[in-house]
Each structure stands twice: as C-alpha cells, then as structure tokens.
Amino acid sequence: MNFFLTVFISSSIVRKWPNTLSRAMDIDHSRPHRGQSVHKTIKQQFKLFKRVFTEIIKTLQKTTDVMAQWNDDAEVIQGDSVKVLNTLPAGTADLVLTSPPYVNAIDYPRAHKFSEWWLTPKIQLCIRDNYIGLRSARHENLFQTAQQLAPASMKTLDWFKRKAPSKYHLVCKYVVDMTKIIVGCKRVLCKSGKIVFVLADNKIAGRTVPVVNIVKELLITNGFKRVKSVRRRIINHRRRYPFGFNGVMKSEAIISASKI
C-alpha cells in the first residue's frame, strides 16, 4: 500500500501546471520552469491529490478487468536495453515495438529527476550517460565507426562535424548505440519476426538530424528486409515535445522491417 501511495503522490507532483502540486511547469516535457507565484491552499492540494488518486484507482481497476481476460502472463524487465537483449533466448520474439530516443532533443534526465528525487532519493540513475542520444563520447573516437555503420546518413552530416563537433560526437555515439540495439533485436526475433520503431527527426544548431534515415540505414546494413517508413501527423491537441524539432513536434515516422 505504501508503494501505491508513493506513486499517487509522485503523480500529483510530476504533472503539467497548473494541475500539479509542484511549481514547475511542464515537467513531463523536460521543461521544469517555475510556474506562477500562486501557492495552492491545503484544501486545493488535497482536492488535486484526491482527483489523481481516483484516476489511478480507476485505471488500476480497468487494468485488472483486462488482465482477467488474458490467457498468458506478462513480464516487465528493467535494465539496459543492450544488456537485457543479450540475456533473452535467441529467436523467441515475434515483434519488437519501441519508440527509441532522439539525438539530444529531449532532456530526459531533467524531466525524470523529479520522479527520482521523490521515489528513490538515495538512488540516482537519471544521469545523461544512461540515456541513448545523450551519452557523451568525448573519450571515444567514434567518427570512423559511425561512418562505417551508416555511411550515407553520416555523409549528410559533414557540416555538423565542422560547425558543432561536440554535438557531432553525440550523433556518432547514437549511431553506435542504436546499432547495438538493432543487433540485439535481430538476435531475439524469430525467423518471421518484425521490428517497428516510432521516432522523428529533430534539429540541432538549426539543422535537421536525419534520425529516421539513420535508423533505416542501420536496419538495412544489419540484414533486415522490407525496411519502410510512413509519416504520421500529430494532432495539434495531442502531447508534443516543445523543443528540438524546429518548434513543437508536428509529425513522427513509423519504421517497420522484417527479419526475412
């Protein structure tokens, strides 16, 4: 019960202003700027908490009702994607569906640290090097490796290497990390298995980083077949990331590929 209460309170904190107990704005989009200098009364705080509590209880009830109809069990495995993929039996997955991170577009640690400070104050995992797309490559020479893994995409980023070398390092590290993920996914997929990525291009220094083309090229070079992508427009009132995409995120790509 203590665990659920902790989650309820955390959910009341990590929310968008003004429907939050925090004074930070838009924490879920990694932009925790301070909101208006209007403190909620105790009554208002408890009213908000009660609403969140009710919402989560309803969600848990719906989940319980759905689970009663399941014939199979579900298992959640927490850990580094590459390491976890290497522990799974080969050829056992029918589908991999994931929305991997972008390159330096979303400051995940800045958003997640509020939950971490509340839920696990003694454990600090929200550091940049734990996030693909944010990992530093200062002490690694990955230029040549990245160019070999995705030659066509990296060739379009020659300007990046000249204008913003530190950011170019991040892109190189991203290519290497995503290659490890794709290799791991291919190993666990069965012969007729499929993989689906949902992601989008973003901008750094005012120029587009072709994340979609990078992932498509990595899929092809690692032996995946029928690699294709379709663009999906994001409806205006839906949640969109507010920076790193030349304004708000307006569209995303669905990339699919087959093992055979």
Q: Which domain holds residue 20?
A: 2-67
Q: Which of 122, 103, 45, 69 is nearest to 244 (CA)?
A: 103
Q: Using a cut of 0.85, tell me whether the model's pTM lies above it.
A: no
One domain, residues 86 and 34:
no
Domain count, the chain: 2
Strands 189-199 and 93-98: parallel
One domain, residues 42 and 90:
no
Look at residue 191 and tell me if it is in a domain.
yes
Q: Which of 169, 184, 156, 175 is nearest to 215 (CA)?
A: 175
Per-residue confidence at 84, pLDDT binned at 50, 70, 90?
Answer: very high
One domain, residues 41 and 146:
no
What contacts 210, CB < 8 A, 6 or more positions away? 153, 156, 157, 201
Q: Given 12, 34, 67, which residue is the final one in a domain?
A: 67
Task: State the Cα–Cα distance between residues 42 and 54, nearest whole angstrom.
Answer: 18
One domain, residues 178 and 99:
yes
pLDDT surpassing 90 at residue 92:
yes
One domain, residues 86 and 178:
yes
Per-residue confidence at 116, pLDDT binned at 50, 70, 90?
Answer: confident
CA pseudo-torsion sign 178, 181, 187, 188: negative
Task: State the Cα–Cα distance between residues 156 and 179, nearest whole angstrom.
Answer: 18
Q: Which amino acid is at 132?
A: I
Look at residue 229 and tell me if it is in a domain.
yes
Q: Tell me the pLDDT tens digit for each residue of 18-56.
A: 777 777 666 655 555 665 555 678 888 888 888 888 888
Per-residue confidence at 258, pLDDT binned at 50, 70, 90?
Answer: very high
**Mean pLDDT across the stretch 249-259?**
90
Q: What is the Cα gyration radius of the chain?
A: 21
pLDDT surpassing 90 at residue 193:
yes
One domain, residues 116 and 189:
yes
